[in-house]
Amino acid sequence: MKKIKLIFQLLLTCLILMSLIFVLQAEAADYYTEVILQEFDGSDNPAYIANQGRVYDANEVFEEGIYEDWEAGQNLTEEIADNEELAEAVADLESVGFYIDKVFTEEELAKFDGEERPEAYVAVENIVYDVSDVFSGGEHRGYQAGSDLSEEFDQESPHEEEMLADYKVIGLLVDKTLSPAELAEYDGEGDNDAYAAVDGLIYDMSELWPEGEHYDYFAGENLTTEITNSPHGAEVMLDVGLTAALTEMLPESTDAPVDEERGLLYIFIGIGVLAVVGSIALGTHSFIFTLRGIDN
C-alpha cells in the first residue's frame, strides 16, 4: 500500500514539475534579430527560419539547414510569399519566438492609428501587430489602434492569446531608444548600469558584467560584430533581459510623409533658384546685347 502511495506521490510531483516547465516555456518570449537568427542555421544549433515576424523551428524541413534552394537561419518572408512549394513545406511549423527588425516607442506606435495612416497597429505584451483589417478606421469595439492594448486584451476582451497568431508581427514595443552616444553612458562604471547593444537591441548586462567588462569587451558599446566572432555566438543574448533599442531601429516609414514634404520643398526651392539665376543670366545677356546693339 505504501509503495502505491509513494509511486502516486512521485507521479504527482512529476506532473506538477512538467506543467511548471510547460508554463515557464510558454511564457518565455524570445526575440530573434537577424544576427541571432543566423546562428540557427542547422549546423551548431537547430534550423530556424523567420516568416512574417515570427521564428519557426524548421529542423524537420531544413535537413542540415537546407531545403531545396533555401537556407535556414534567415528571414524567408519574401521567399515564402513568392513560392507556393516553400509556403506549403513550412505551413505547420512550431513558432519559437519573434523576429525583430523594427521597434516602436509608445509615441511612434501612436502614429499607426489607422486614421492618419492606413496601417493600424496595436501592441500586446510588447509585440506590435498589424490589425489593419479588424481595426477599420482605427477602431475595434471602442478601442483605438496605435496603442498598447495588453491589459484590455487580457482583462476585457473575449479573445484568447492564441488568436494573435493570425496577425502579422511588425516589431517590438520598447520603453526607450538610445543613440550610440547615449548608450555610451551605460558603461557599468560607478553607479552606472551596464548596457550592451547587439543588432539594434540593447540588453541590460548589469548583473552579468558588474564591472562593465567581459573578455576585453566593454558595456556602453555596440558589440554586434564582436559577439558574432565570439566563441559562443549571438544566441547567448536570448537569455539576457532587453532594456531598450538603438534609435536607428525605429520604423523609417514614420518619417516618410515629412520626408516627402521636404522633398517637394527642395524641388520648389530648386526651381525657384533656377528661375532667378536663369532670368538674371538672360537679363545680363540681353542687357549686354542691348549695349552691344547701342555700340553698333
- Spatial neighbors of 206 by CB under 8 A, at least 6 apart, are 188, 193, 194, 195
x/- track of binding to ligand HEM for residues 112-141 (CB under 6 A): ----------x-x------x--x-----xx
Q: CB 240: neighbour CB atoms within 10 A?
A: 15
Q: Is 143 in the site for ligand HEM (CB under 6 A)?
A: yes
Which of 170/198 has CB closer to ligand HEM? Answer: 198
Residue choice 56, 70, 153, 195 for contact with ligand HEM (CB under 6 A):
153
Residue choice 64, 156, 175, 260 for contact with ligand HEM (CB under 6 A):
156
- Only one of the segments 17-25, 95-103, 174-182, 221-229 lies at the binding site for ligand HEM (rule: CB under 6 A); that segment is 221-229
Contact present, 168 and 123 (Cβ < 8 Å): no
- Only one of the segments 14-22, 49-57, 230-238, 247-255 lies at the binding site for ligand HEM (rule: CB under 6 A); that segment is 230-238
Cell 526575440 found at: 31
Q: Is 218 in the site for ligand HEM (CB under 6 A)?
A: no
Cell numbers at 36, concatenated: 541571432
Contact present, 103 and 244 (Cβ < 8 Å): no
Of 136, 125, 113, the closest CA to residue 161 belongs to 125
Q: Helix, strand, or coil here: 154?
A: helix
Measure Cα distances from 172 to 50, 264, 288 in Å. Answer: 15, 32, 66
**Which of positions 178-207 make contact with ligand HEM (CB under 6 A)?**
196, 198
- Only one of the segments 31-39, 83-91, 108-116, 213-221 lies at the binding site for ligand HEM (rule: CB under 6 A); that segment is 213-221
Q: Residue 55: beta bridge partners?
A: 50, 97
x/- track of binding to ligand HEM for residues 78-107 (CB under 6 A): ------------------------------
**Measured torsion, CA atoms of residues 78, 82, 85, 86, in degrees rounded to the nearest 10:** -10
Q: Is 293 in the site for ligand HEM (CB under 6 A)?
A: no
Which of 105/157 has CB closer to ligand HEM? Answer: 157
192-224 burial string, b = 16+ CB within 10 Å, else e?
ebbbbbbbbbbbbbbeebeebebeeebbbbbbb
Which of 83/230 has CB closer to ligand HEM? Answer: 230
Residue choice 9, 20, 91, 159 for contact with ligand HEM (CB under 6 A):
159
Which of 167/186 has CB closer to ligand HEM? Answer: 167
x/- track of binding to ligand HEM for residues 53-82 (CB under 6 A): ------------------------------
Cell numbers at 113, concatenated: 492609428
Count of residues of this chain found to bind ligand HEM when the rule CB under 6 A is applied: 30
Contact present, 157 and 140 (Cβ < 8 Å): no
Of 24, 36, 29, the closest CA to residue 237 belongs to 36
Residue choice 87, 110, 184, 236 for contact with ligand HEM (CB under 6 A):
236
Note the residues at the interface with ligand HEM (CB under 6 A): 122, 124, 131, 134, 140-141, 143, 149, 152-153, 156-159, 167, 196, 198, 208, 214-215, 217, 223, 226-227, 230-232, 236-237, 240
